[in-house]
Amino acid sequence: MMHPLLIGVACLPLLFRLVPMIVPEHYLEPYAYWNAGTLNEQDGKIETYWRNMGYWDGIDSYSEAAGTLARKLLEFADAEPGGAILDIAHGAGESLSMHLNSSRPPSHLDALTSLPSESRFAKDLIAHRHPNMETVTNFFTSSASYRPGKDLQHPLNPMRGFMGDRRPSDEGLEPLAPPYHLVYILDAIYHFRPSTAHFLSHVIHVLKPSGVIAFTDILPPSNLSPFLGHLILPPLLSVPARNLVSKTRTVEGYHELMQKIGYKNVKIEDWSDHVFPGLANHLRSRGRLWTLVAKGIEWAERGGWKFVAVRASRSAVDHRLSQD
């Protein structure tokens, strides 16, 4: 008779597949149970609520490093100022405040997160910091990936537009003009289901001609074992297995993926040396369980994992409109 422990281990893959089908997605996200102020506390005070890996060149403050990473990505995007922005996975809202603090704030700012608690917190944060803002701001609580025919209010629905869903009598009309000059995703895209490639294929349709997508991502090493990629890391990191085992593992491969989807002017930079060592050192200095997290980051860095920034744009010519 087979040992019960072996039966349990054999059933783990099935269990990992069944749980997401039964339990609402936002209950499975580790960020739902992680106070955004935890790493931002300094001298007993919490003034910012960042939650990303940070950009650590000459910096030892988590809040400063996290804010630097957000600004670096915005600079890297080099998008048209004063336009319409979609910020996906904005967390507690610090990146939204960053957009609004720019010298030319966006005309529209759409904010999407999968956690209701983050939407509420971000709304309060923006209302408190920017009471007199002129930017039109909309908050969405949904998974990052758009499901055609189901998520009618999703900002990646190309038929939604800024003025809401179309009426039934509008069927047969051309889609609304793409709304966004910039889609911005900071340190989150590797969580998106069912895969990063699926998500990116939907974003391009809501970019204006020459509109930009900018995001950071983590690339697994070429020698990642199937056991880790399929069984261990997905539940541990809250990352879909396809973003580990089926994902391109090189900068060159990522460049080809973006071009295959239809993006132009693809630019990818490896920021690993600016992110992993500084974050690991900072977490180790905090002691306790953070030391284990630091060791995990160092293991990933030694193993060849990469933290990359990606910037690409839609074609300057809207071929859909040029056919008229």
Q: Is residue 36 part of a domain?
A: no
Q: Is residue 17 part of a domain?
A: no
Range of the domain at 140: 48-162+179-317
322 three-state secondary structure: helix
Q: Is residue 174 part of a domain?
A: no
Q: Is residue 98 part of a domain?
A: yes
Q: How many helices (H) and strands (E) does the chain have?
A: 12, 7
- CATH number, domain with residue 183: 3.40.50.150
The pLDDT value recorded for residue 35 is 76
pLDDT tens-place values along the chain, 324 residues long: 555 554 444 454 554 454 454 545 545 455 545 677 889 998 889 999 999 999 999 999 999 999 999 999 999 999 999 999 999 999 999 999 999 999 999 999 999 999 999 999 999 999 999 999 999 999 999 999 988 878 888 999 988 754 444 434 444 444 456 799 999 999 999 999 999 999 999 999 999 999 999 999 999 999 999 989 988 999 889 899 999 999 999 999 999 999 999 999 999 999 999 999 999 999 999 998 999 999 999 999 999 999 999 999 999 976 544 333
- Cis (ω within 30 of 0) for the bond into 116? no
Q: Is residue 192 part of a domain?
A: yes
If one counts the domains in the chain, the total is: 1
Alpha carbon distance 38, 55 (integer Å): 18
**φ, ψ dihedrals at 156, nearest 5°:** -90, 5
What is this structure's pTM? 0.87
What own/partner pairs with CB < 8 Å and gap ≥ 24 does 168-174 have?
A: 174/320
CA distances from 33 to 36, 161, 238, 259 (A): 9, 33, 13, 37
Q: Is residue 41 part of a domain?
A: no
Q: Is residue 136 part of a domain?
A: yes
Q: Is residue 201 part of a domain?
A: yes
Q: Which among 193, 168, 206 is positioned nearest to 86, based on CA atoms?
A: 206
